[in-house]
A and B are shown apart, each in its own frame.
Chain A
Amino acid sequence: MSRLATGGHIDRNTELAFTFDDKAYLGYAGDTLASALLANGVRQVATSIKYGRPRGIMSAGVEDANALVQIEAPFPEPMLTATTIELYDGLVARGLQGRGRLADAPDPARYDAMHAHCDLLVIGAGPSGLVCALTAARAGARVVLVDDQSEAGGSLLGSRDGLDDWVSSVITELNSLEDVRILQRTTVFGYYDDGFVLALERRTDHLGAAAQAHLARQRIWRIRSKQVIVATGAHERPVVFADSDRPGVMLAGAARTYLNRYGVLAGRKIVVFTTNDSAYEAAVELGDAGTDVTVVDARTEISQRWAAECASRGITVRAGHVVTGTSGSDRVTTAHVAPYLDGEPGARQGISCDLLLVSGGWNPTVHLYSQARGRLRYEASLGAFVPESAVTGVRVAGAAAGLFTLAGCLASGATATADVLGELGLPSTPLELPSVEAEQKPAPGLVLWAVPDKREDTEPCHQFVDLQRDSTVADILRAVGAGLTGVEHVKRYTTIGTAHDQGKTSGMIACGIMAEALSTHERHVDIASLGTTTFRPPYTSVPFAALAGRDRGEIFDPVRVTAIQPWHVAHGALFENVGQWKRPWYYPQRDPSGSVEDIESAVLRECKATRESVGMMDGSTLGKINVQGVDAGEFLDRLYTNLISSLKPGFIRYGVMCGMDGMIIDDGTVARVSDTEFVLTTTTGNAAMILDWMEEFAQTEWPELRVSLTSVTEQWVTIPLVGPRSRDVLASVAPDLDVSNEAFGFMTWRDARVAGIQARICRISFSGELAYEINVSAWDGLTVWEALFDAGQPYGITVYGTETMHVLRAEKGYPIIGQDTDGTVTPHDLGMSWVVSKKKLDFVGKRSFSRSENQRSDRKHLVGLLPVDKTVLLAEGSQLLATTDVSVSPVPMLGHVTSSYRSVALDSTFALALVRSGRERIGETLQAWHDGGLVAVTVTDPVLYDKEGARRDG
């Protein structure tokens, strides 16, 4: 065991049993999976994605590129890093080779979202963040403090700075303040303008099977803050050398964290390879813990303080040396050490070890600052990019700002908060900062990206840069050799920085190696000019389940149903989605033997019954807009292609609207209610768009017109009663209404009682048959529907759905806007010149009709098609050709099929199509490309049924 008897933030009285790669282990409460594995002596955790090399634990946090595991139980979850999984009893996990597996069972957990608003959001509860949060909270600011660990403290958790009591006292005080919210186990993963951030809170993951099912397992926080302080610390970066990917090679700071936070010795015979002073703390603390430590420092001059500290502990320091490579099979057993002179390693010598710690310096965690469009500056002494200045509402404090002493971090938190409070107009009283050892100025670090590999027997492909992607120095050199000079290009060519960790340990190093590779004797390319790749959200992986939250399954998108929906369901309707609406598609009948009609026979039956006797359907989804005002008629004249203002109350007119470009955007009917009120209808799927369109003109183009618009779609239930016996049915339920053609003519409306309920009845027809559209309040919709259905029984009334509606209208050549048109079709193209007013001086789209492009004789026209073989149902979208020769491509296309159905009335299949110069081709035979072959079709007038309109009045 590598666990120390005392120390750390773990609870040795609470043992946790877990399984990793099918072996049972024990850990303690407070462990991560990584610390528990290290405590149990497990070194190899995963296997590399491309080369299958053994990989271990390289860090103690989110930056780990190696330790990818799959959780199998209690919640299957793919591809997490062992360093970020809090250990719980019953955890079953397995190491991965680069890719996770999605669970094959549904996720039973709940996920949700919360909003928070505050004056100051502090991201990171390390020394800087705690100073910020407490100072601001005492000043009366509403503060949210977010931290990704299970407890506050940040870097203090992994150090021996002795500030544990201070951290506790700060948290206790913050918790006592009303306007403070502390979110632990919460990662801010993106900054999205104007102080808005998204964060992921892991609420019950750490409880394993003990998590209560009613609690959301994870929660997305949407936080809007007036001011933000980014105190996210820094990530240590390694140095690249041959075979640095072996298990047992670890970042120096991580080993400190395992020692001080988890009481785990990650090794007993340790080589510390560093380019800067920070790793000496690890060397000294591990030495004090009884391990055998050798320091290899690339610098020839090291600080006297650390030389003395090492000497007093018997720690050997090899200044001016580097590690050039490692040996070992599934774990490191030897570090190859060589003198380092003038950038070249000399003769190497092996030092046996079971842990090789590396520090190449620290990269400030500038992700969120950069996402807030903060500018970065390359700091050559650190070999890292640091924030250049504050951006509006966003400040950076502590190590994230490039400060690497505890005293400096505490002070920068105080400064940042004073600035924030100034902007918020709150009094700022400086916090009494905890006294910390006045640190001596560290000796300058050496910026070293990669140790040259001089061995002849080794390809540079063993010098790994991005360990998760198995990308190497050789890959970068190949990219540069291929002529790539930008960091974004090299990133994509090599895939460095594209894995789950997004290059937290590899990105900076890749920039450095690239700059060196691009530099020649004549021209030095510095990193500052190369810049970094863009820091995009999310900072760490976010489960889609969390982003989806409650918006999944039935409540993913609202479902709109009409008041008659229960009847449709009870009568076996199948539904189609039209926008958010559920519309009955057809009503398959069950015969006495129990077999159910297919769509083809159901639709033929529904069509036949409607044309021969009477049918009814639910038309309530049709968009309905109420237009009121003294200028309502003038307003509609400007939007419709035809004249509306001349319509008299009690009458209805069909109308078409076009865009400025003259293309049809919608059609429908307009009923005049009074001098100052109209009700117009729109296509079901276009209702919202047309209301917006009209509103835009009312507000922006013609604000002088007195008109107001209201959607009344959901207030009315609309029931078309269709067919030669519809008059008889209506008469039986509306005894007060004179339903004769003379008294109640086509394209008029009457108010009357239907089944005792006040109704507005419109004589309009979308089928060519005698038809009445009965409109009642949605509350009464079902009552009237059932009354009509009962009254229709003597005539065998048949309820039909949208498919039959489509067949009936297509037989009459009535287009559906959006199906038979596609935004490139004018009223003239549809053969509807009659709907375009010649009297009106202007209306939306008018001038475009006379554009030469819209006057061409070879525009596509709406026509009908009859397949020569009456049984062939053309696929909608089929291309139409004038030739049977398809051997030479491109084959000249004439147009395409827009609608295609079987017709019982025509005893044939038929189609509508847009065909170039279509009206001049009536009578011609064209070829349709259908089902991999050619089908002969005859071009006809679009009206195929009752061309003379004899059926309209019954």
Chain B
Amino acid sequence: MQLIRCPWCGSREEAEFHYGGQAHVSYPENPAELSDAEWARYVFFRDNPRGPFAERWVHSAGCRRWFNAIRDTGTHDLLAVYRIGDPRPEVAT
């Protein structure tokens, strides 16, 4: 049972959290102007790297707050957690 450090509550067990997919995927400025392919890329496509990956989590059984984390997808190590709106931190890899 991995520990995840909620930026608001501190370390809690992973069962208290839900995963929210890739972070920093901005809603398009003007969806109406996008082609079908561009819109589909926003709706359906996400990165799937091996290594550090910025992603969203929500402390659903705790403070119910969303936050961002950088997780190494090869090891599941959480390299950093940061609040929504904060810039993506540099992590040593």
Contacts and interface: CB of A to CB of B under 8 A. Distances in A.
A193 B2 contact: yes
B36 to A, nearest CB: 5
Contact of B39 (A193, A700, A847): A847
B34 interface: yes
Interface in A849-866: 851-852
7 contacts: A196-B3, A222-B1, A661-B44, A695-B64, A700-B20, A847-B28, A851-B39
Contacts of B27: 701
A847 B36 CA distance: 9
Give the interface SS of chain A, mostly helix, strand, loop or mixed.
mixed
Interface in A693-707: 695-696, 699-701, 703
Contacts of A846: 31
A736 interface: no
Nearest to A695: B64
A700 B1 contact: no
Interface string B1-14: 11100000000010
Interface in A436-456: none
B77 to A, nearest CB: 9
Interface of B: 1-3, 13, 18, 20, 27-28, 31-32, 34, 36, 39-40, 42-44, 56, 58, 60, 64-66, 75-76, 84-85
A847 B32 contact: yes
B43 A848 contact: yes
Contacts of B84: 699-700, 703
B3 A194 contact: yes
Contact of B1 (A192, A695, A852): A192
Nearest to A701: B27
A660 B25 CA distance: 13
Given A703-B84, A847-B39, A851-B39, A842 B31 contact: yes
B56 A852 contact: no
A660 B75 CA distance: 31
A692 interface: yes
Residue in B13, B28, B31 with the greatest tally of chain A CB atoms within 10 Å? B31
Contact of A699 (B18, B36, B65): B65
A194 B39 contact: no
Q: Which of A222, A692, A846, A852 has the most CB of B within 10 A?
A: A692
Given A700-B66, A700-B84, A701-B27, A848 B39 contact: yes
B21 to A, nearest CB: 11
Nearest to A194: B3
A696 B20 contact: yes
A852 B32 CA distance: 14
B36 A852 contact: yes
Contacts of B85: 703
Interface string A677-705: 00000000000000010011001110100
Given A193-B1, A196-B3, A847-B32, 15 more contacts: A192-B1, A194-B2, A194-B3, A196-B1, A196-B2, A222-B1, A661-B43, A692-B58, A700-B56, A842-B31, A846-B31, A847-B39, A848-B39, A848-B43, A851-B39
Interface in A803-846: 841-842, 846
A841 B28 CA distance: 13
Q: Which 9 A-B pairs have the closest CB atoms?
A: A847-B31, A193-B2, A196-B1, A194-B3, A699-B66, A660-B43, A192-B1, A700-B66, A851-B36
Interface in A218-264: 222, 224
Classify chain A's interface size: 20 to 34
Nearest to A841: B32
Contacts of B1: 192-194, 196, 222, 224
A844 to B, nearest CB: 9
A382 to B, nearest CB: 29
Contacts of B66: 695-696, 699-700
Which secondary structure characterizes the binding site on chain B? mixed
Contacts of A841: 32
Interface in A654-679: 660-661
A842 B20 contact: no
Nearest to A844: B27
A699 B85 CA distance: 10
B35 to A, nearest CB: 10
Interface string A332-357: 00000000000000000000000000
A842 B32 CA distance: 8
B49 to A, nearest CB: 20
Contacts of A660: 42-43
B56 to A, nearest CB: 7
A360 to B, nearest CB: 35
B39 A696 contact: no
A411 to B, nearest CB: 32
Contacts of A661: 43-44
Contacts of B65: 699
A699 B56 CA distance: 12
Nearest to A192: B1
Contacts of B64: 695
Contacts of A851: 36, 39-40
**Most chain B beta carbons < 10 A, residue from A193, A661, A700:** A700
A373 B3 CA distance: 16
A846 B33 CA distance: 12
A248 B75 CA distance: 47
B62 to A, nearest CB: 13
A497 to B, nearest CB: 26
B24 to A, nearest CB: 10
A842 B28 CA distance: 11
A373 to B, nearest CB: 8
Contacts of A696: 20, 58, 66
Given A194-B3, A661-B43, A703-B84, A692 B60 contact: yes
A851 B42 CA distance: 13
A661 B39 CA distance: 10
A474 to B, nearest CB: 39
A762 B36 CA distance: 41
A661 B36 CA distance: 12
A841 B65 CA distance: 29
B47 to A, nearest CB: 17
Nearest to B64: A695
Contacts of B28: 847
A847 B41 CA distance: 13
B18 to A, nearest CB: 8
Contacts of B58: 692, 696
A192 B84 CA distance: 29
A192 B36 CA distance: 44
A661 B76 CA distance: 30
A192 B73 CA distance: 17
Contacts of A699: 65-66, 84
Contacts of B31: 842, 846-847
A695 B84 CA distance: 13
Contacts of B13: 196
A196, A846, A847, A848 — which one has the most chain B CB atoms within 10 A of its CB? A847
Q: Which of B20, B66, B84 has the most CB of A within 10 A?
A: B66
A746 B51 CA distance: 57
A79 B14 CA distance: 34
Contacts of B34: 847
A422 B39 CA distance: 55
Nearest to B20: A696
A227 B71 CA distance: 23
A456 to B, nearest CB: 53
Interface in A573-613: none
Nearest to A851: B36
A595 to B, nearest CB: 49
Contacts of A848: 39, 43
Contacts of A847: 28, 31-32, 34, 39
A842 B27 CA distance: 11
Contacts of A695: 64, 66
Contacts of A224: 1
Contacts of B43: 660-661, 848
Nearest to B65: A699
